[in-house]
Amino acid sequence: TQLLEQSPQFLSIQEGENLTVYCNSSSVFSSLQWYRQEPGEGPVLLVTVVTGGEVKKLKRLTFQFGDARKDSSLHITAAQPGDTGLYLCAGARNQGGKLIFGQGTELSVKP
């Protein structure tokens, strides 16, 4: 059972386009994290959102946590080829506890 549904699973766009990745669940999480992974490497944390309705920005990336803390989105403005990679959302239910990962979104940005 996949508790975190991530969509889309694949996205291929041109440089300069905008995109949004969604992470949805029927469960409430204490926090939600977004990771980025490049080929041959482990995932690296981009951001953690904790409060319902929270919005965080990281340069051209905007992350939002749903009001009910069940879903999140990642929006990239004016995508660059350097944004290419696998994006993973992960939900936590308690401190120091296990994470539940979404299936991942494979993003390809073509110049």
Partner 1 sequence: DAGITQSPRHKVTETGTPVTLRCHQTENHRYMYWYRQDPGHGLRLIHYSYGVKDTDKGEVSDGYSVSRSKTEDFLLTLESATSSQTSVYFCAIAREGQNIQYFGAGTRLSVL
Number of residues that bind partner 1 (CB under 8 A): 26
Binding status of residue 42 toward partner 1 by CB under 8 A? yes
Give the range of 14-22, 37-45, 55-63, 71-79 binding partner 1 by CB under 8 A.
37-45
Burial 25-50 (b: 16+ CB within 10 A, else e): beeebebbbbbbeeeeeebeebbebe
Of the candidate residues 43, 61, 64, 107, the single one contacting partner 1 (CB under 8 A): 43
Report whether the peptide linkage leading into residue 43 is cis, meaning its omega lies within 30 degrees of zero: no
Binding status of residue 103 toward partner 1 by CB under 8 A? yes
Tokens of 66: 């749903």
Binding status of residue 25 toward partner 1 by CB under 8 A? no
